[in-house]
Amino acid sequence: MSDSSVKTKMSVPLLDLRAQYSAIRDRVRESVDRVFESQAFVLGAEVEALEEEVARYSQTRHAIACASGSDALLLAMMALDVKAGDEVITTPHTFFATASSVTRLGARPIFVDIDPRTYNINPASIEAAITERTRAIMPVHIYGQCAEMDEILEVAARHSIAVVEDAAQAIGAGDKGRRAGSMGAIGCFSFYPSKNLGGAGDGGMLTTNDDRLAERLRILHVHGGVTKYHHTEVGINSRLDALQAVVLRAKLPHLDEWSNQRARHARRYIELFAQIGLTDKVGLPFVREDARHIFHLFVIRVGASRDALINHLRENGVGTEVYYPVPLHLQKCFQYLGYKEGDFPEAERAARETLALPIYPELTDEQLHYVVDVVRQFFEPK
Ligand SMILES: *Cc1c(COP(=O)(O)O)cnc(C)c1O
């Protein structure tokens, strides 16, 4: 062990889903049995019940289940008739699927740099990116905090452009009392297992308050035909399994408590880093006023020492990850879009300087102290 390592080694994973399972184990097993007895595996009553529950939770009129968060984004673009030659304004600091949903339809993602405090799209830079080809603005509620929706909705309304929320990391997040997924034309959610509400596999959901868009999405996700074998347009096959629906329905009643617990841990991290006087070395998450941040991820900024800190954390049993190491405008597959290094300096800096620390509801205070101590040891080796 190097002399900078902490005395008693602990193991603190980035995320621990086993602890969560014990809270829902009985209900999940009962419901899984029920699905097998019914032998109704795709869509059906359980999926419809989940749609109603997610619509209520997200304060929207409609929710339409689909097979993944990536599909939700693609379906949202399809429902808005995004096609070749169109442009969609979004952030380069996000998961790949945000932009690939646009390029899959032959349209172009137009990137706009991020606000270095929140890592969300910088609303002040959006208007300059709008052209007569702009079909949508797609903010991502990164790490579980909503993008600045008032500013985004205002500029979108002024130009009559739809807003699609990539809320994959933000189910239950709030902005001035409004829920993620309820503010734009369409909200897109992911139930990938590591998300705050995660299934036992892939899953996704679309939310909208627009009856017409809801109807369109219901057609598009079943091959463009609500009546079997009669297709009004070409959709895709993106349905949710009943098995996923029962797992998600078992978890949903716990989601608020779990997200509050994450937020409590985040406040504790922030408190402890301030107490030991590390705030000049460790850039802490910024929570906007009037925001409900659900802390899907707890991301810190540490400058040029980032990779060395990652090694130090791993050597000491602390899970960590970089979200995301390559901004989307510099991805090889998007070279044809013509972006180059230096185009979005804040997104590029975030990719170089940030890392995530463990956060999940069941994280203990002892584990949290240990993580902070391991970080402290890195900056102030004894
Ligand atoms: C997870 C995620 C997605 C994709 O969701 P999948 O269910 O994995 O397809 C899209 N956007 C963001 C921001 C995500 O975090």
Task: Compute CA distances 71 → 144, 168, 225, 229, 238, whole Å.
Answer: 20, 11, 17, 22, 7
Give the Å distance between the CA of 268 and the centre of ligand 1: 27
Q: Tell me: the pLDDT tens digits for 192-248?
A: 999 999 999 999 999 999 999 999 999 999 999 888 888 999 999 999 999 999 999
What pLDDT is stored for residue 119 in this prediction? 98
Q: Tell me: the pLDDT tens digits for 66-108?
A: 999 999 999 999 999 999 999 999 999 999 999 999 999 999 9
Pocket test for ligand 1, best of 169, 188, 323 (most atoms within 8 A of CB): 169
User: Angle of helix 365-379 relative to helix 306-315, nearest 10 degrees?
Assistant: 130
Same fold, 21-252 and 254-379: no
Q: What is the percentage of the chain residues whose pLDDT exceeds 70?
A: 98
Yes or no: say if 237 and 220 are a contact pair by the CB < 8 Å rule. Answer: no
What pLDDT is stored for residue 381 in this prediction? 82
Nearest residue (by CA) to ligand 1, atom 6, is 69
pLDDT at 382 over 90: no
Q: Domain residue spans in the chain?
A: 21-252, 254-379
Report which of 26, 35, 52 is spatially closest to residue 250, judged by C-alpha positions. Answer: 26
Q: Which residue has the tokens 């097993």?
A: 29
Rounded to an integer, the average pLDDT of 125-133 is 98
Ligand 1 atom nearest the C-alpha of 169 is: 15
CATH code, residues 21-252:
3.40.640.10
Pocket test for ligand 1, best of 90, 190, 194, 205 (most atoms within 8 A of CB): 190
What pLDDT is stored for residue 19 in this prediction? 86
pLDDT bracket for residue 304 (50, 70, 90): very high
pTM: 0.97
Nearest residue (by CA) to ligand 1, atom 5, is 69
Mean pLDDT over each residue of the chain, to the nearest integer: 96
Residue 107 has φ and ψ, to the nearest 5°, of: -90, 170
What pLDDT is stored for residue 2 in this prediction? 46
CATH of the structural domain 254-379, one choice from 3.30.1490.20, 3.30.40.230, 3.90.1150.10, 1.10.3480.10: 3.90.1150.10
